[in-house]
């Protein structure tokens, strides 16, 4: 008996074959549940450790920066614990030597500034008169306010009430004599506030003494922690996650170490230039601006503002202010032309506008720590975004959208 095939024109449809789902397939609901669970676990951990979060973050950064050094010492035959102890001892000795060299010079600068401060205050009227003359020459008209009046307004603001008018033989010296008790009370109140917060400062210092302890144990178990984190990644996502993590590590490790070298070089240039300019606190301001240079633009803004104020206070309107500005301009040129291309290269690859936005957002959310971590976090996020763009361009959604656009065209 010959069986006939059903005609394609008969209108009968063959029965649909249901796709049998593999028992190992993961549903979207399960994925969302795992993601939400991990997110809640992470947020809960951060909340519980919030009091030590800054110390733990600093410990992780130290461990991340020192791990390559420890690995090299291990390749030379040292065990990991002695290698960590050796690096810590060298760091401690270097810090003590640096403090012994820098602290006496900075202390001497502060002593000189405190000795000269009364003379600077006494010369405020003269500086204001010089500035008034310069302003009148620049504007081509007379300003109906004298330097003594400006200083009197300033001291009145510090006093909180009106000062007695100076007599015919008086002047700025008499005004300063009247304001001295009020300045003393202001400094006394500030000192009392500092002493009242002494317990808090002591507890903060005690907490930060745990930094080397945390760093030691993190360095000792660093490889095990990385392997443990790798084992928690889903099997299907491990190649992609490992590739992204490797690129983030290459970009950040070179950037962080290079940025530290660049900031150190800038601090030395600032200190030398400000010493040549002859201002007070040249070493303190220069090295401080170098440290703040770890945050883009912050070191330059703070350093040039403080240095210009000190130059005006000591020399008035003179070439010393131009020397201060020239120092910071020279440091920026050296950084842009030589230091950044040679040391950093294109390790981060962030647009200057993105850098400024990252620093502003990080500072507004987390303060100085947020500004310090803004660029590394943004650079790591950029690697993730680049990986996502690559996957998006290779997805069916992108191909179908492209095909549909082509048909519509």
- The per-residue pLDDT for 361 is 85
pLDDT at 379: 82
Residues 6+ apart with CB under 8 A from 399: none
**In residues, how long is the chain?**
409
* CB-based contact 329:266 (threshold 8 Å): no
Long-range pairs for 247-254: beta carbons < 8 A, 24 or more residues apart: 247/383, 248/379, 248/380, 248/383, 248/384, 251/347, 251/348, 251/379, 251/380, 251/383, 252/376, 252/379, 252/380, 253/64, 253/65, 253/68, 254/344, 254/345, 254/347
Question: In this predicted model, what pLDDT tens digit does every residue of 39-95 receive, in sequence order?
Answer: 888 888 878 877 777 788 888 888 888 888 898 998 988 899 999 999 999 988 988
Does pTM top 0.75 for this prediction?
Answer: no
Only one residue has tokens 């939400």, namely: 36
pLDDT reported for residue 168? 43
Residues lower than pLDDT 70 in the chain:
1-26, 122, 124-128, 130-132, 136, 140-205, 343-350, 401-409
CA dist 181 and 177 (Å) reads 8
pLDDT value of position 25:
65
Q: Is 33 exposed, middle or buried (0-12, 13-18, 19+ CB in 10 A)?
A: exposed
228-249 pLDDT, tens digit per residue, is 888 888 888 888 888 888 888 8
What's the pLDDT at 162? 47
Say what the pLDDT of residue 86 is.
Answer: 92
């Amino acid at each position: 008996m010959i069986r006939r095939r059903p005609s394609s024109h008969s209108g009968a449809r063959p029965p649909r074959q249901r796709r049998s789902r593999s028992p190992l397939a993961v549903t979207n609901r399960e994925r969302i549940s795992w993601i939400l669970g991990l997110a809640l676990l992470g947020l809960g951990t951060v909340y519980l450790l919030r009091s030590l979060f800054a110390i733990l973050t600093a410990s992780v950064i130290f461990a991340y920066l020192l791990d390559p050094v420890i690995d090299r010492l291990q390749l030379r035959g040292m065990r990991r614990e002695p290698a960590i102890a050796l690096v810590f001892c060298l760091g401690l000795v270097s810090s003590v030597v640096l403090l012994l060299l820098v602290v006496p010079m900075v202390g001497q600068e502060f002593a000189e500034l405190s000795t000269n401060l009364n003379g600077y205050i006494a010369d405020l009227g003269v500086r204001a008169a010089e500035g008034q003359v310069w302003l009148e020459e620049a504007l081509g008209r007379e300003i109906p306010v004298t330097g003594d009046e400006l200083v009197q307004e300033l001291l009145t603001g510090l006093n909180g009430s009106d000062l007695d008018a100076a007599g015919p033989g008086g002047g700025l010296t008499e005004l300063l004599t009247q304001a001295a008790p009020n300045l003393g009370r202001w400094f006394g109140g500030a000192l009392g506030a500092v002493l009242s917060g002494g317990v808090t400062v002591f507890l903060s210092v005690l907490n930060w003494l745990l930094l080397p302890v945390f760093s030691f144990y993190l360095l000792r178990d660093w490889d095990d922690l990385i392997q443990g984190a790798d084992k928690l990644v889903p099997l299907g996502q491990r190649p992609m996650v490992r590739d992204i993590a490797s690129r983030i590590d290459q970009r950040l490790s070179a950037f962080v170490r290079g940025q530290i070298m660049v900031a150190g070089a800038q601090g030395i240039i600032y200190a030398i230039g400000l010493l040549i300019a002859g201002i007070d606190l040249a070493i303190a301001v220069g090295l401080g601006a170098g440290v703040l240079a770890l945050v883009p633009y912050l070191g330059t803004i703070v350093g040039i503002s403080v240095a210009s104020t000190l130059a005006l206070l000591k020399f008035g309107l003179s070439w010393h202010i131009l020397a201060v500005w020239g120092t910071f301009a020279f440091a920026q040129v050296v950084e842009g032309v030589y230091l950044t291309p040679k040391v950093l290269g294109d390790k981060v690859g962030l647009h200057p506008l993105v850098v400024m936005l990252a620093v502003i957002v990080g500072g507004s959310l987390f303060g100085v720590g947020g500004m310090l971590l803004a660029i590394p976090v943004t650079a790591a996020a950029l690697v993730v975004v680049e990986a996502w763009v690559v996957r998006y361009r290779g997805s069916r959604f992108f191909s179908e959208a492209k095909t549909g656009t082509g048909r519509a065209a």
